[in-house]
Structures are given as structure tokens and as C-alpha cells.
Structure 1
């Protein structure tokens, strides 16, 4: 019989391995504070939580569902490439259950140091308000911590424990007081992800064929294409509270190394371009670290951080880091990231065990054309052979400034059009008049010189814009790096005008643009100004790193 939640512990015991979650998955506060995004909101009407022990588990562009045998989702993991260390066995099983068994309504209470021993599973109604759910989850954490305190104080003698503490003792498995003392401060709550995983696997049908080709072209294992299950559940609109975006959840600083992120476009929102970037990043991680468990963990923690951790511990593999590395930054999210990846592949490769038959969405197919002028977005859509919704789906990276017509798409822009529409697009593009094919970019900003006491936030408020837009437009990574005398571009509330810069109309002329470095400029700012990525600038100019930049240097703009 299910009992309404009360102030005491209503515990559900289970033998499955369960644990907490990385930043991609909602979690509530834990002790210590849980790493992760804020819990997802649920319906506003409150209802009591209950406990339970188990739960059962284009012709492109026309996104119609078709039924596909779910067992054909992907090859089994090669244990030579993707080993499962014994230290992660419980973690992998836990994440398998989070992805494939527990729904968004389930909250699993557990210790980060006893991943194979869930303490409690609370099941909430769809009508439960998020505020109430958060409160009850935090109460469960506090009650569990008090039970651990009691167990330690009683020297783990069962006959001295209250009923609630005894249930925690049994759930975590018998042991001495030292074992339970080590679990104090490690209790957290993880919400299930089965619903999102199912939706993500079906949505992935749109992108996986192209993703597989991209990874194959780089000589990378296909299993890596399952990482978006962990990062975003293949949600192209995913945006975290710390600023990561897209199905691969790139942070802005990392994104600028592998793709374009500027006033024109944010390639993180493009599932195909960001997949190419993710493939190159993972390839680079592997080249630096020499194993896939380390390279995948570096996707979350950074390759430099992993290399430093190996040096500090004298370790050689991920198991060594998990066992020996004591650093607050290498916390629950990073130490579990590879386990989540393994679990995501297990669920994706055997969906019939968890979801039955999947309705995979039809792959999106397209042709690619390249522009040679500054062209309005609406013009490109009109001659593409796609309606506005389809065109936006094929070309999702453009900024609001481009979509609204404040800025034009620049020369060299790769545009996706429906399969079979390439010849039509080329013909209509050639027939465009000069009012639609400009030799100059439009500007919608005014110049502003930073004064003493200014902050990006105060400047943004004064000019009716946002700090994020100012940072993006000026290639600023850190808001604290603002300097007195620095010149900023501020969005202009007046009508846009053409840039007063002499540019030729031929594509060849644009590819030969050069830029002279001035004092205070950074590679990221120069890249943003010319609508290229930092990586492209470095390659075109043989720059080993950003420190190679010097005042007066002439840079070739690819």
C-alpha cells in the first residue's frame, strides 16, 4: 500500500544500482550541494508524494514517424575501446535505470558513495507542484542524513536504531560505524529520465544517419554519437543555466574553438554543425589522453584538467582518477560522466528492454549551397524551396538579429535546402538584384567607449540591451575583463544601415580579407567580427595558440 509523504522516512528498498546525476539531469540540493541543473517544473497543483519499490519500465523535412524494430538501434560497445571498470559497475547500472526505468515523476534518494544501494524512491503525481516536490525531496535528504547520524552514534548496532534509521541501515547494506560515517554528507536526489530518453531516442532518428557519417569520416567509434542522450536527450533547444547549448551542450568558450558563435550565428544550436565540432573535440581529447574513458570524461571536465589530474595522482586511467583524485571540481558530475555514457549506450542499443518498439522520426536530408554575398535571411528562405518553418529547422543557428533582418547572412554561408532544391536555389540566387545581394554588411550598432566605473550590465541597461548580447557582439568571454577606454559595439535602436567599408562582391575577394591586430584585441573578438571560428583563424594563420597574437600582426581571414 502506498503511503502519503509524512515527516518521517517512508523508505523503499531495492537491489538495483542507483545514483545521482550530472549536469544534464535535474537534481535537487544534496549534502554537499548537488551538481546539476535546477529541477524541471511540473504542474502547479500540489499532490502528496508516494513511495514505490519498482516501476516498469527530408524528402527531407517532413518529420513523420515510422515504426522501426528497436533492436536495430546500434552496435554493442567494444569493451576494448569502452571498458567498464569495476569501480563504475554500480554507477553504470544506476544510470541505466535512470535512463530506462525511472520516469520524471520518480525521485531516487541515494548516496554518492553507495551507488548500488538506493535508499528511497518517491513517486510524485503529475499534479504535484515543483515547489512542493523540491521541499519533499530536500526533506528526504535531511531525514536520511539524520538517520545516518543515528546509525553512527549507535555504533551501527541495529537493535539500538529507530525504525527509520533501521530502514536506512538495511537499504545501504550492513556495515560498521566507519562505513556509515563515510556516507554522511553524500545524500542527494536524482530524478528519473525515462520519458526524456524515450523521446530523445525517437527524435534522434532525424539526425543519427548524418551524425554517424560525420563520426565515421573522422575515424571515430559510432558509440560516441550516443553522448547527446546524456547531454540533452537530443533536444536541439536545450540550454543549461550555466550557458551550455544544443544537443552537445557546448559552453561558449569551448564552442568558439570549434565553430562559429557571434552576432550572426550560434552553431551550437545546429545539430549537424555542432556534431562535427563535437567529433573534432572528442578526436582531440583522445589524441591528448590516449583512451576513450578519459577522452569522454574530458568532454565534461576538460582535457587539460584530466591531464593535470593524472599527473597529480600518478594515475594512468579513469579508474585511478575516480579512486585517487580528490578535487572539488572533479565532483559527482565529472566522475559519473563516463558511466552515464556507457548506460546511455546500453539503453540505446537495447531499447526493447526499456521502451518496447520505438517510433523513430524520419531522417532529415538536405543539399548544401554556399552564398557569395550579404543576403537577407528571408530572401534565402524564399528561394530555398522550403517554407519558413522547414528552412529554420534546416538552418537553426542564425541569431535573432539575422532572423529579424537587422543583419544579413555573410558571404561564404553554407545554407541547407531540401533535397533536390539545389539547382533551383542556384538559379534563383543568380537572378537576385543588387538590393538582395549586398557587398556590405548592415550595422545595427553604435560605438561606445567604456568609462571608469562602467560595467557590462550598466552599459546594457543604459542602452536597452542585454549583457549576453553585448558579450556576443564584442567577442567578450568574461564580463570582468572590461577595460576603461575599450570600444564596444552597442545595438542601435534606430534603423540599420550599411557598413561603411569597401568590400568587393566576389567571393574570392572576401576570402582574401586581412585584419591588422590592434592593442587589446583577442582571437575570439577578431573571429566574432569576421564571422569565423577561433579554430579557423588559428589554422589559416599557423597560430599555435591565442598567446601567439601580437599587435600589428596581419591575419588572413578565411
Structure 2
């Protein structure tokens, strides 16, 4: 037999063994219910098998170096020390990052060598031969050239998935009932394994939160998200929202694989893919759809779901017997008043941490006492409590008819803590204590400071006495007084109250009011955010759209419909607003101060959530390439919120970015576990 023919046949056999047999093996071992609703095309089987490996074989201290398209082409699994439960979600150390980078560069060099026409493929060393064989023995050099650019690292998830199975016992019965009520497949209740590993406190660097990882923009369509309450963090309320969103996706797209993918990529994106390729076949869309925004996460989301569904329904095969957390048992009590969280816990004879577990939608300002639990809030309590009787024992002086009002100030260019304190009739130590500031010289433009009221000022007197001794001398103070937020230099570790690389201030609308009016601190602080029209009745004002704001937000804060705002600004239905756009508002139902306070509280909540979970260590410079915009940078390249990037680049107009522009990108790391 001709030697070349024999070699070709051997190559075919090798290709079948390496690629087709794993696919057949996957098909025979990947079992789950409702395969007609959730089909597994043969082309996607290797990817599903890869995610089964990620979820069941490798822990969070193991990193899989693999090809981003041929997922089963695994170059190496790098393991760091022993696995510690408490270190499961800690960020990589510098040495770990360096090691992984060296590994990536090592395999990139091998792939580049295989791509070179100078390399003799029959004279490879053992490691080069192993990498060569991962691609089926092809001699197409371009395969290796592309692979050299597509080396990806995936963190193992076995221990996290196991924990998610245990945690799922608390809420799964409620979630399944919600999906049953909406006539949705029960299999969809496994999706939180992919999104958050059933960690209802999960918070991403892009601002997605909770069991179902809703962004604020999508979440507020179905849930209440305010300074006091964030229902995204409540597994039951968020599951109700997820069911409604899934229902919308399916009704529009007509396919469960597309509806599931749309949960990650967005409804509009999947409609675009379906329209462009003239198909609803998820395998064809994954293989052929090309979009700057259809990245690795979106391409693999359906495969991750199928892997999680298979594992959850066959968990004993991978984890043995599991003791699931028992379902949380509770009853609800509608609060007839505004009331302090500590007061409720005290009179219900509950530890504050225990009550907190029953009410995950309440935010930190409630727990810290800076805000009351809102009136008409459905308080969850242990089922055994006689809550009516216990609540009736709370003294009348501890019950309130209105929410505690906070005073806010947004830092502007030229501000110092000293000038802010004087302008708002407070003290530097008081502001520092209220906002956890570690240095009076490190405040950034745009940062929202909470100002103390009179009662809080009295409580902070002791803090002032403690801090005053550490304040600079009169001579040093004179020097500091000349410093502004523009002169802050980056520190090695930048806390929430710190910025680097001298970001310039966002230009605020010119106020048409006298800032020297003898008004309360809050009114002086927030009114400059809005440009008022003189002698207008009712008051009319203009503002500039800021990151994370929508017409829906303005409507909520004004207590009107979004259509009213569209009418005032000649905005057609469906047209979105853009960053920096000038919007006209009429203050009929709320005062200017109430609106501005709601707005600042919203932005303060966004910042608090982020900096409770992440830390900025420095910045890097990104050069804008053709086709890139700020949306792409935030959501697909760096996975960071727009407001954070803007705070480092306030001299740039994000609506007019062009190739060659330089933009500062914060380097962000997780500072603690969200679990």
C-alpha cells in the first residue's frame, strides 16, 4: 500500500479518535430532561463536555489554559497550592498572575513555532508534538497562527458548583413554584448555577447582582432598586423577575436555546443574529454569527446551561451524596411605619444578622441606621414568631411617618474637604467619619459624600476629638488648602475614596441659582446639578445625562410617566438617551431638592455596591481602535461600569471617541468574597 495513502488514513483515524469519539462519548453520557426543548446539537457537544469538566473536575485554585474556540484543546491545568474554602473567591496574587502569564506566553511561542513554515512538523519535541496533536494533526499553519491569539484561561468551578448545590436547597422550592406559575420549563431553574452558583450576594465588576445577575438597567424593569432596597439580592423576588424576562425572551425568539442565550447577550442581539443568519439553529449561530459583542461568554452560555442542567440532575455521579440546605421558612409582615432596623430586631427578639438573612433585599444604609426600613415593606420573619404582638410593643417614638432624609454633596473640581465642610456647616472629621475616608487629601471629582445632620454631628463629636490630633498643623493646612482633587497622585492601592492619574472634572451645568444662599447643606449641595429656568412656575430645569441614568429613573424621581419626559424633550418612543445629553424636566409632583436627593442617592448606591466588592489598584492606558466605543470597552473588553471609567477620563467626550484616543482604564480586583 502506498505509504502516503496509509499516512493519510492514519490521520483520518486519528482525527476521528481525537475529535469524533469524544463527541460520541459526550452524547452518550450527557443526560437531562426535556431534550426536545433544550436540544444538544452535535457541534456543541465538545463545548458542553468542557464545561462539565470546569464544573466537576477543577476547583477554583486551578486554571485551565485552553483554546477559546476548540475548548477541548487544553494545554495545561495550573494548580496553586491547596484549596482553602475561605480563599475560594480571593483575587490572584501578583506571583500567580505572573506565573499564568508565563504559561500563556510559553504556549503562544509553541503555537507560533507550529505556525511557522520554517518548522519541520516531523521533528517536533515531545511537548510540541502534544500541542500539535491537540488540533487533530492538521498541517494547516493558519490553524496554529489563529490558536496563538486565542489562548484563554478558565478558573475551575467544582467547589463553587458544589456549594451552589448545597445553597440551592434554601430557595429551589420557591423558584420552581414561580417558574411553574409562569408556565416555564422547570429546567430553567438551574440557570443560577451558571450565573452565580446560587450566591445571592454575588456582585460583578460590571454591576450585575444577585442570584440571577441582573444589571440595574434590566433589573429595574421588574424590581425595586433604590438606596434602601435592592430586590436583585432577594432570591425569590429576583426569580420572579427572571421568569418574566425568560417569558419575554421565548415569546419573541420562539426558541429556548435562543431565549437562554438572550439572557446573557440581550434580546436585541439575538434578534439581530437570527435575522442576519436566517436561522434559529443555536449551533449555526454559535459557529457563524460574527459581532463585536457576541463574545466567548455569549457563545458558550447555552452550553454552560446544558452542562449545569446535566450535573444538577446527576449530581451523585460527580459529588456523591449532598446534604442540601433546608428550605427557608418564613412569613411576611407589612410594616405600617418607617422604623429603624435595630429597633425591629430588638423587639422581635432576633439577632440582627439572623433578620438580615431573611431580608436580603435591604441595603447597608438600612443595617447601618442611616435609613429606616421603608413603610409598607414586606418584612420576612421566622415562621414561629407572633410578629403582630411583638411589633405592637415598639414605642411610638420609635415609629416614623417619613423616611430619614440624608444630605449629599457631589465633589466638584477645586473642592477640598475644608471648603466642603465650611460650605455645608460641618467639620472635616465628621465628613471623613461619615464616608470612611482615610485621607482628607484623597477625594475624587464626582464622588458623592454623605453629610451629617445635627444629631449625627453630636454623635461624631468624639470622633472629631480623636481625629483632630492627627490633622496637619496650621502651616501644613495652608499648603493642603491649595490642593484640590486635580492634584491627587495614585497610591499603590486605591480605595473607594481615591483616584489616580489626575482625572479632570466633569463640567457641570452652570447653575442659575445663588450658591451663597443661607440654605441647608443638602440644598446647597445638590442644586448645582440642575440648571434652573428663572421665574418658571412650576420649576423647570435642565440636567446632563450621567452614567447609569435612564428616562425611567427620571420618571421615578419625578413621580410621572416616561412619556411626559419624552413629550418635553421631543423624544420618540424607543429612542434612548445618551451620556451628556441635555434633558428638560418639570418639577410638578416633587421639589427640586427631593429630585436631586433621589438622584444622588442612586449614584451613591451604585458606588457603594461597587467599592464594597472591588478595589482599584491603578490604571492602564488603552488606545482606541477602529470600531470601538465606550459601550464596547465597558461591557465586553474590560467588564467595568461606565461611571468608573468616566471618573478617570472626565476630560473626554465618550460620544466622540476616535481611533488613536487614549483612555485610562482602572485596574480592578475583588477585595473580598461575595459568598
Task: Confirm or deny a common fold (TM above 0.5).
Answer: yes
Structure 1 pair 426/260, CA: closer, same or farther in 2 (3 Å)?
Answer: same
Q: Cα–Cα, structure 1 residues 545 and 356, in superposed 2: closer, same or farther, change >3 Å?
A: same
- Which residues of 2 match residues 10-25 of structure 1 at below 5 A? none
Instruction: Return the match for 2:134 from 153, 171, 177.
Output: 171
SS of the aligned residue for 1:212 comes to helix
Shift of the 418–517 alpha-carbon distance from structure 1 to 2, 3 Å rule, reads farther
Which residue in 2 is equivalent to 1:278? 242
- Separation in 2, partners of 1:83, 1:241: 32
Distance change >3 Å, CA 338–CA 417, structure 1 → 2: same
Alignment match of 1:95 (pick from 51, 54, 76): 51
Matched, 1:460 2:416: no
- Secondary structure of the residue aligned to 1:360 is coil
Aligned to 1:438: 400
Equivalent residue for 1:134, pick from 79, 83, 97 = 97
- Cα gap change, 1:365 to 1:525, in 2 (>3 Å): farther
SS state at 2:360 partner = coil
For the Cα contact (< 8 Å) 2:108–2:148, is it kept in 1?
Answer: yes
Conserved? CA contact 1:368–1:414, under 8 Å:
yes
Distance in 2 (alpha carbons) for counterparts of 1:405 and 1:88: 51
Between the aligned partners of 1:359 and 1:197, the Cα distance in structure 2 is 14
The residue that corresponds to 1:353 in the other structure is 317
**Counterparts of 2:355 and 2:394, CA distance in 1:** 19
User: Are the equivalent residues in 1 in contact too, given 2:178–2:240 (CA < 8 A)?
Assistant: yes
Q: Structure 1 residues 124, 433: closer, same or farther in 2, change over 3 A? A: closer
Would the alpha carbon gap of residues 226 and 384 (structure 1) be closer, same or farther in structure 2, given more than 3 Å must change?
farther
Q: Is the 8 A contact 2:406 2:451 kept in 1?
A: no
Alpha-carbon deviations, 1:495-541, whole Å to 9, x = none? Answer: 99xxxxxxxxxxxxxxxxxx9997559321443687x999xx99xxx
> How far, CA to CA, are the matches of 1:516 and 1:313 in structure 2?
51
Alignment of 1:57-456 (within 5 A): 76-126=32-82, 130-154=93-117, 158-177=121-140, 178-384=142-348, 386-421=350-385, 424-430=386-392, 432-446=394-408
Q: 1:334 to 1:127 in 2, by over 3 A?
A: closer
Separation in 2, partners of 1:253, 1:137: 35
Tell me if the contact between 1:117 and 1:173 (Cα under 8 Å) persists in the aligned partners: no
**Structure 1 residue 451: deviation in Å?**
7.0
2:324 aligned counterpart, secondary structure: strand
Displacement of 1:461 in angstroms is 6.7
State the partner residue of 1:524. 553
Structure 1 range deviating more: 285-294 or 382-391: 382-391
TM-align CA RMSD = 4.0
Q: Distance in 1 between matches of 2:202 and 2:510?
A: 36
Unaligned runs of 5+ in 1: 1-13, 18-74, 471-478, 488-493, 497-514
**Are the aligned partners of 1:260 and 1:533 in contact in 2 as well (CA < 8 Å)?**
no
Whole-angstrom CA distance in 1 between matches of 2:553 and 2:224: 10
Contact kept in structure 1, 2:406 and 2:450, CA below 8 Å: no
Contact in 2 for aligned 1:256/1:524 (Cα 8 Å): no
Q: 1:289 & 1:554 partners in 2: Cα distance? A: 41
SS in 2 for 1:408: coil
Name the CA distance, whole Å, in 2 between partners of 1:481 and 1:176. 58
* Alignment CA distance shift 1:484-1:259 (3 Å): farther
Q: Distance in 2 between matches of 1:395 and 1:76?
A: 34
> For the structure 1 residues 483 and 303, does the alpha-carbon distance in structure 2 shift closer, same or farther, using more than 3 Å as the test?
farther
> What does the per-residue CA deviation read over 1:366-415, in whole Å, with 9 as the maximum and x for residues that have no partner?
11121232222223323445332221000022222211222112222111
User: Distance in 1 between the 2:327 and 2:202 partners?
Assistant: 20
3-state SS of 2:332 partner? strand
CA contact (8 A) 2:338 2:402 kept: yes
| Separation (CA, whole Å) in 2 of partners of 1:345 and 1:463 | 45
Shift of 1:426: 2.2
Aligned equivalents of 2:589, 2:261: Cα separation in 1:
35
Bigger drift between 189-198 and 437-446 goes to 437-446
**Partners in 2 of 1:85 and 1:555 — Cα distance?**
55
3-state SS of the aligned residue for 1:249?
Answer: coil
Q: Following the alignment from structure 2 to structure 1, what is the Cα–Cα distance between the partners of residues 251 and 506?
A: 33
Q: Distance in 2 between matches of 1:394 and 1:111?
A: 43
Aligned to 1:64: none
* Contact map agreement 1:246 1:269 (CA 8 A) in 2: yes
| Structure 2: segments with no counterpart, 5+ residues | 1-16, 21-30, 85-91, 416-442, 453-494, 498-504, 514-519, 523-537, 544-549, 567-571, 578-582, 591-675
What is the CA-CA distance between 1:230 and the residue it aligns to? 0.9
* Higher RCO (CA 8 Å, separation ≥ 6 residues): 1
Cα deviation digits, residues 10-43 of structure 1 (max 9, x gap):
xxxx9699xxxxxxxxxxxxxxxxxxxxxxxxxx
Q: Deviations over 1:133-188 (max 9, x none)?
A: 32222222212121111112148853133433222101332112243334231111
Residue in 1 that maps onto 2:612: none
Deviation at 1:111, TM superposition (A): 0.6
Q: 2:347, 2:394 within 8 Å by CA — same for their partners in 1?
A: no
Task: Describe the SS at the equivalent of 1:257.
Answer: coil
Which structure's residues are more often helix, by fraction? 2
Q: Is the 8 A contact 1:377 1:409 kept in 2?
A: yes
Q: What TM-score results when the alignment is normalised by the length of structure 2?
A: 0.58
TM-score, length-scaled by structure 1: 0.70
Q: Aligned residues, how many?
A: 443
What's the CA shift string for 1:465-493, capped at 9, x where partnerless?
Answer: 9xx999xxxxxxxx979655499xxxxxx
Cα distance change on mapping 1:16 and 1:315 into 2, 3 Å: closer
Change (3 A) 1:413 1:122: same
* CA distance in structure 1 between the aligned counterparts of 2:43 and 2:265, rounded to whole angstroms: 19
CA radius of gyration, larger in: 2
